[in-house]
C-alpha cells in the first residue's frame, strides 16, 4: 500500500525531555567500553569530555509520534542507520535536552518487497543552550 500522509507532520516536535546531569563515571565507562584509552575520555578531571558517540545514548520519552502513517507497522522495524552531526562535547554535569521531530518518511521497493523508512531527528543541547548533536535515526519497516 503506498504511503499517504499529511506532509505537515514532518518537522513537528513530538517529544522533549531533559536528562539527569551526566557523571564523569558514566562518560568514562562509556569510552572504556569502546576500548578508548585517550585521557580526554577516560581520566577524571577538568579536561574530561564524553566520547563523540556518547550522544547516541540519549532518547526522548516517546519513541515514535502518534501521527505516523497507518500502514507503517511500528512493531516490525529495525535500525537501518544513523547520521550524527557533532557540536560541543558532553561534559560532566551536563543536563541534556532532547527534542524529537519526525524528519522524513519514505518508501523503497527492493528485492524483498516494499519497505518503509522513518527518520526521527533528535536535537541535543546542554543547559547552556549549546548544540551537542543532531542525530537522524533511520528505521526500516516492512
Residues binding another protein (CB under 8 A): 26, 29-30, 32-36, 38, 40-41, 51-53, 56-57, 79-86, 89
For another protein, the closer of residues 9 and 84 by Cβ is: 84
For another protein, the closer of residues 1 and 33 by Cβ is: 33
Q: What's the min distance (Å) between Cβ of 67 and another protein?
A: 25
For another protein, the closer of residues 81 and 93 by Cβ is: 81
Phi, psi for residue 25 in degrees, rounded to 5: -60, -40
HEC string of the chain? CCCCCCHHHCCCEEEEEECCCCCHHHHHHHHHHCCCCCHHHHCCCCCCCCCHHHHHHCCCCCCCCCCCCCCCCHHHCEEEEEEEEECCCCCCCCCCEEEEEEEEEEEEEECCEEEEEEEEEEEEECCCCCEEEEEEEEEEEC
Q: What's the min distance (Å) between Cβ of 49 and another protein?
A: 8
For another protein, the closer of residues 4 and 79 by Cβ is: 79
Q: What's the min distance (Å) between Cβ of 56 and another protein?
A: 4
Determine how many CB atoms are found less than 10 A away from the CB of residue 54.
21
Q: What's the min distance (Å) between Cβ of 6 and another protein?
A: 28
For another protein, the closer of residues 82 and 99 by Cβ is: 82
Q: What's the min distance (Å) between Cβ of 137 and another protein?
A: 10
Amino acid at each position: 500500500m503506498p504511503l499517504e500522509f499529511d506532509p505537515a507532520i514532518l518537522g513537528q516536535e513530538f517529544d522533549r525531555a531533559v536528562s539527569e546531569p551526566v557523571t564523569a563515571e558514566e562518560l568514562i565507562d562509556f569510552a572504556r567500553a569502546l576500548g578508548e584509552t585517550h585521557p580526554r575520555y577516560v581520566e577524571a578531571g577538568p579536561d574530561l569530555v564524553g566520547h563523540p558517540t556518547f550522544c547516541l545514548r540519549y532518547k526522548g520519552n516517546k519513541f515514535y509520534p502518534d501521527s505516523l502513517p497507518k500502514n507503517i507497522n511500528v512493531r516490525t522495524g529495525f535500525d537501518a542507520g544513523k547520521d550524527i552531526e557533532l557540536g560541543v562535547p558532553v561534559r560532566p554535569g551536563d543536563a541534556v535536552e532532547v527534542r524529537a521531530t519526525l524528519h522524513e518518511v519514505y518508501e523503497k521497493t527492493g528485492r524483498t518487497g516494499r519497505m518503509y523508512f522513518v527518520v526521527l531527528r533528535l536535537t541535543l543541547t546542554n543547559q547552556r543552550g549549546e548544540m551537542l548533536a543532531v542525530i537522524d535515526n533511520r528505521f526500516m519497516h516492512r
